[in-house]
Structure 1
Amino acid sequence: MIITAVTISVLILGIPSIILGGILVWKSEQLALENYAATISTTVERRIDTGEPINTETLLGWLQPEHLNFEVQRLTVRAPGTQVLTVGAPVSDPQLSSISIGPSGTVVIAEASAWKAIMRVGALIGAMFIGILLSLLVGVWLAMKGSRRISAPLIYLAAQAEQLGSVQVRATVRPCGIEEIDLVQEELVRTGERMAGRLAAERQFAANASHQLRTPLTALSMRLEEIELFSKEPEVQDEARICLEQVERLTQVIQDLLNTSKGQAANAEALHILEIFNQQREEWEESFRKQKRELKFIDEAAQPVLADRSILAQVLATLIENSLRYGAGTTTVACRRGTSSRGVVLVVIDEGIGVPAEIENRIFEKGVSGHGSSGIGLPLAKDLVQAIGGRIELTQARPAEFTVSLAALPTSLDPDLVIPKGAVVSVSRRRRRF
């Protein structure tokens, strides 16, 4: 901006000055020649009045005036009663000429070459151009100096804002002396302190809540294990086992939320998607059957994925629950190969009316819901998927189709192929392989 302002100012003032200066120099040379011709005319009039002769030799003495910046190359005098006298060589273009007529009718014509006048005009223009160039250079220097004085604090201010946005340690930036920037920096410091206080309070609340929830959940899981162990009815044992798995998943969800509040990364592991599918089938199949709907799981990829077991189970549970509550017809959960060999996609689709058009582009925003719910499930699922390096998106609105993209392991690194299977150990009627 400074360079632009200086350039415009210099051009607006410099160009007219150059033109006006050139005109003034040219007019000055022309005026000097006119004064010379008038002086010669006065001298000739006086000689005529005194009767002194005027000849070629006299004119030659007048042809080289000392007070002019140029040489008069041709002088012509025509006095009354005398012949026309001309001295000097003809002048080629460009030329300056002046005609002076005296009171008695004496005519004096002075001619001179205009090259010296043109050179003076050129010298003036060159000097003014050099002045303009120096002015521009000084303006650029001042602009660079001023911009560095402004840009450096702005760079530090941007870094402080970035740290504030990423919830990092609050940076301390010294005042730069520019009032507006210092005001913004002080406000950022105050905002960072408020955010730090709120984050500390939220983390403390999450820690307290998780501690208070884990204690009754542990007691509940122990009671369920006792029921599963001592009950003789298979149906009761199955229900107790399913409830126990739900309690374990809820405990893991609480731990994941606590880790998220602390900024800790998820623990990714290689797992088979069929294990997650079997768990979700046991959890939701009965609910779908009560609504006379079908829940299908299809593993087309047959490839291990790299993800956190509890997070992936929670994300799938959120999508299946939404399909159960707001969808219709058959709900299909499929695992397919991605566009590359290093990825797989989980697709959840039903046969319902889909997502309303007014919230289609905001479906993953907190508080956005087309059915009066809290609008927290899908935003939380998005955060959890991103925590394990995946991506969730709405690939089709009507009917609703959600896609979860995950990293896959090469088939050669399948845990069942790399790690040999151990013996089957029975723990409270639950069979696990170690």
Structure 2
Amino acid sequence: MRRRLISSTLAVVLVVISVFGLSLALVEARTITEGARESVGAEAVRLTGVVENRLAAGEAVDSGTLAEQLPPGRHARIDIPGRPPVLIGPRPSGDVIEARVEGARGETVTVQQPRAAVTDEIVRTLLVILMVSLLAVAAAVFLALGQARRLVSPLTDLAETAERLGSGDPRPRHRRYGVPELDRVADVLDASAERIARMLTAERRLAADASHQLRTPLTALSMRLEEIIATDDRDTVKEEAAIALTQVERLTDVVQRLLTNSRDPRTGSAVAFGLDEVVRQQVEEWRPAYRSAGRAIVCTGVKDLRAVGTPGAVAQVLATLIENALMHGAGAVVLHTRVTGNQAVVEITDEGQGVPAELGSRVFERTVSGRNSTGLGLAVARDLAEADGGRLELLRLKPPVFALFLGREAGRE
């Protein structure tokens, strides 16, 4: 493209120079020739006047007295009736420009100038035009190189940006080039890079959240299946199977929620529901795991609370907190329900060492963990709570108290 820009610019300049340069040369040659004829004619008229004046005054008319009246490089012949011709200046050889004037006393004045002098002046003028044309070509080459560099370099840079986007590097470069059209392309590429970066971030976040959120219901389901395998009592098998089916439904709900909200984790579907039922359900589901660990899990507090939120999301938040208490806590775990203002609150506490002080303010950040875990659980739980207008807070470090705040159903006390 660089060569094409330079070639096209030079072609335009050469065409312009050819058209206007040749026209100018022809006009200048004609002007110089006409000017020389007019000058010779004017010289002949002037010299005729001088001769008439001298004849009228009875003064001598010869080459000596009239030599100063003629510019160098010109030749004059004065013919006076009854007198020999008077010659002034060297007689030119070759082609000449000539002017002849007859005076009132019958004298004839002929002035000649060598055409070679006019030709030399025309050649000098053409050389000046040629030099100016060459300077114009040189300037055109310089400008073409600069323009080509100004256009080709940004295009190469934009091509590299597009290649980076295609290779999976979505970082915007935020470079602008002072050319509106190229800057527009750069704006589009940067906007595309930012969209791709957001999409990749959302996909990675979806994968991480999915792996974490699916782990809890799968763990609960596997515990139910273990209970079924370990017992021969038909009624127990039916009961555990029913609970397992409930876990499968919840697992399906988690998958559907992940797919629906993968682009916007704050998209909620809040409804009024019975909070006691969700809390009791979680206690029953996790009791076998706590029993196996030699620990207890109980629920206390205000009964018959109705909250506003998504039951599946609330169950997932509680499951995350219960699982953390099982993995990182100690002693009995208590789920306590209470009312504060127009909110229903579920507090989860255990008798363990609690949350380290240095992590207290960052415990809900992604990848932040005091143990060898992913650090996603509490971050995902907080997102789920906030999606329905609630919030998840750490009220106390030791012993740890996590609280899930949910809006209460309007008209309920």
Q: Could you tell me the TM-score, scaled by structure 1's length? A: 0.45
Q: Could you tell me the TM-score, scaled by structure 2's length? A: 0.47
